[in-house]
Structure 1
Amino acid sequence: MEVVEQVTSRDETIVKTGLIGIAANAILAAIKAVVGFASGSIAIILDAVNNLSDALSSVITIVGIKIAGKSPDKEHPFGYGRVEYLTAIVIGVIILYTGGTSVVESAKKIISPSTPNYDTISLVLIAVLVVVKFALGLYTQRVGQRVNSDSLIASGVDAKFDALISLGTLLAALVFVFFGVSLEAYLGVVISLLLIKAALEILRDAIDKILGARMPNSDSSQIYECIGSFDGVLGAYDLIFNDYGPDKKLGSVHIEVAHDMNAAQIDALTRRIQNEIFAKFNIVLDTIGIYAFDKEDNATRLNVEKIVFGHKFIKQMHGFYINKETNTITFDIVIDFNAPDSSALYREILSQVSSAYPSYKVIITRDTDYNG
């Protein structure tokens, strides 16, 4: 119940912020359109159009959060949370298009400059609108960071850049009024390029999340440390993290426990770990795999570790166990992504360990380096 209430509150906050953005941008667009046509400034007119695109971004954000908030169903058992990342991509494309068109229009003005006609009222209005737009962008971005919404963050960044564009227009107007030099087009090019850069960063971050980016090392280290703090856990490995949208994260992990722990003890331990990880990190550990650890195998394990870590590009070895009934040695290794030929390295290690223990069947599992 608590989780549902938190998600509902988050969705309401995003919708409220989006509605504020729609209303504010519509008003700003109307005022700028009047000032732009009155002064003959193409930059101000384009700025008005840009405000309308910002209002569209807010509409997309609201639609996206409504879809993302749908309950899981048979076709989508993990829910629709990733729709939020798709909306961030759409907004990023809108920002990219805005930056591109601004560059083109600014370049045209450099080639064929026009002479605008500014008056005091127009300049004062532009100054006020710069402050309002920047405040709106700052507010939207901060709310987005607080509720972990990429769409709101993207909209906030866009709004702040729009304020910079308007500020550039204002400064250029003042320079023109006092010195007769037109810098509006040149400032437009510079700010538009910065806007394009911000759009590309927004697109990169959203696409990374959809593709499945690596969990930050600081986060995985904290999770490993938390799991390792439980009595009975001798080691934690193979943390896998799946992002199905903000506040909808699933994962799995392997833990090493004493080989003589019974099923009831392991069941109780894994449930405590799952509850703690969800409470602290808002991540559902859907699966906790088990490695059995036998202290009697320590001498052999150390010797095998010496063989394994004698090779470059080996990041980790774990899950070591000797089954004396079947004469098998099993363990996992993690090979660095930078290894030139990980398959050849794996075969070499398997051959060397097998040669060192010819009376055993050696089984080595190659784990992927999911979390550094």
Structure 2
Amino acid sequence: MLDLVLSKFIKNYDDIKNPQVRSACGNFSGVVGIILNLILFSAKLLSGILTASISVTADAFNNLSDAGSSVVTFLGFKLANRPADEEHPYGHGRYEYVAGLGISCAIILVGVELLKSSIEKIINPEESTAITLLSVCILIGSICVKLWMFFFNRAMSKKISSSALKATAMDSLTDCIATSVVLIGLGISAVTGVNIDGWLGCAVAGFILYTGISTFKESLSPLLGNTPDPEFIDEIREIVLSTELITGIHDLLIHDYGPGRCIISFHAEVPYDVDILKAHDVIDRLERKIQEKYNCVVTIHMDPIAVSDEYTIELKEKINESLDSIDSALSLHDFRIVKGEEHQRVLFDLVVPPECKLKETDALNAVKEKIAQIDEKLIPIIHIDKICLECGGNIKL
């Protein structure tokens, strides 16, 4: 159904990897939101005036704030699609996240104002609100429209992987609940004569504030830098390890500059005894493959690994077993040996992730003790490596 609608308005609507198409989808969602929310605002405001209900009026202004949010969403996608320039070499993709913050602030402001109005009505109660057939039809129609908008925006968010549209979808679902509460309250007032309008207004304001705060957190997270999608990391790992010559991958970093705009870097392990020109060609082709598939910038560092030396393999396995006995969260990469006449230097990066129970220095000392137990002639040279939660992560192999 969604594809049928998009095909009528967006050319090449299915090419979501294309930034132009993605922006067009976001703009279309924004326009739909503006139109429908303005219609709902007008209808509910009329109903609120007819019934003299603060909760219905509060719900109407909630829809007005949603219309404003849709405007910000539209502008956010427009600005995010601007090309890179001298001052912003990585493009303007994060405008979409900034737009989400603006939407959140507007929602929170409306929620605060409506909460104040509702509290005033609780302190100074009025007569029970009147209920009319027109107001009931308007509210039921509003619930149906908002439910459709929830499914529409949720489908759009999944199609183009947009956190902004996901937040919009949840906002629509919250509106369905809020309007249902208002409708139930009007029914209770009509049957019992008890005016709970102010309390229901507080409930609606609470829903609005909850949505605004949740949206704010979700929009702020990618600006600060959050953990990449595990599925995306798995896809990268699968592509890399299915490439000829490459035996491992580590130090994967993903820098997010907006949806569909990221920089990926990692270390690819290759046998140390292969032809350097052939290995370089494999790395070049892998960079182009990932770049074309995900529309991103890719940088790969090539690490030569001794994959055929039996002593190196055996020693690495022993040290890995020692790491597991210390803490299963520990891992290593870039393992190599420099042989001397009396001693052998063992060099590797020790990954100490946040879930490790030991402090870095304690983990380092424990690993050195284990290596000394394996062979006193081994001199460990260990570099502590951390998983970068803000912009990516290491893959434990």
Cα–Cα, structure 1 residues 218 and 89, in superposed 2: closer, same or farther, change >3 Å? same
Aligned pairs (5 A) from 1:270-289: 270-278=283-291, 283-289=296-302
SS at match of 1:260: coil
CA distance in 2 between counterparts of 1:193 and 1:4 reads 36
Alignment partners' CA distance in 1, 2:17 and 2:352: 43
Structure 1 contact 165–188 (Cα < 8 Å) conserved:
no
Normalising by structure 1, what TM-score?
Answer: 0.87
1:136 pairs with 2:154: no
1:368 is matched with: 386
Per-residue Cα deviation, 1:16-60 (whole angstroms, up to 9, x for no partner): 221222222222222222222232112222222222211211111
Aligned amino acid, residue 300 of structure 1: L
- Work out which of the residue numbers 298, 310, 326 in structure 2 matches 1:311: 326
Residues in 2 aligned to 1:177 and 1:4: alpha-carbon distance in whole angstroms: 50
Question: 2:246 is matched with which residue?
Answer: 233
Residue 349 (structure 2) pairs with residue 335 (structure 1)? no
Distance in 1 (CA, whole Å) between partners of 2:325 and 2:177 is 56
Q: What is the deviation of 1:246?
A: 0.8
Match of 1:213 in 2: 226
Secondary structure of 1:75's partner?
A: coil
| Pairwise CA distance, 1:200 | 2.9
Q: Write out aligned runs for 1:48-87 (5 A).
A: 48-87=60-99
1-side partners of 2:252 and 2:195: how far apart? 58
Tell me, what secondary structure is at the counterpart of 1:256? strand
Structure 2 letter corresponding to 1:133: K
- Contact kept in structure 1, 2:107 and 2:208, CA below 8 Å: yes
**Is the 1:91–1:155 contact (alpha carbons within 8 Å) kept by the matching residues of 2?**
no
Is the CA contact (8 Å cut-off) linking 2:371 and 2:378 kept in structure 1? no
| 2:129 aligned residue | 116
The correspondence of residues 156-235 of structure 1 with structure 2, limited to 5 A, is 156-235=169-248
Q: Percent identity?
A: 24
Contact persistence 1:328–1:361 (CA under 8 A): yes
Question: Which of 104, 116, 137 pairs up with 1:92?
Answer: 104
User: Structure 2 length normalisation: TM-score?
Assistant: 0.82
The alignment partner of 2:18 has SS state of helix
- SS of the aligned residue for 1:336 comes to coil
* Contact 1:313 1:336 survives alignment (8 Å): no
Once residues 357 and 278 of structure 1 are traced to their aligned partners in structure 2, the CA distance between those partners, rounded to angstroms, is: 45
Q: Which residue of 2 aligns with 1:36?
A: 48
Alignment: residue pair count: 371
Q: Residues 371 and 299 (structure 1 numbering): CA distance in 2 closer, same or farther, change over 3 Å?
A: closer
- Match in the other structure for 2:314: 299
Answer with 92-101 or 319-328: which moved more.
Answer: 319-328
Contact 1:91 1:151 in 2 (8 A): no
List runs of 5+ in structure 1 lacking aligned partners. none
Give the secondary-structure state (helix, strand or coil) at the position aligned to 1:70: coil
Corresponding position of 2:10? none
The answer as to whether partners of 1:14 and 1:62 remain within 8 angstroms in 2 is: yes
SS across alignment from 1:295: coil
The 1:105–1:48 alpha-carbon spacing in structure 2 relative to 1, beyond 3 Å, is same
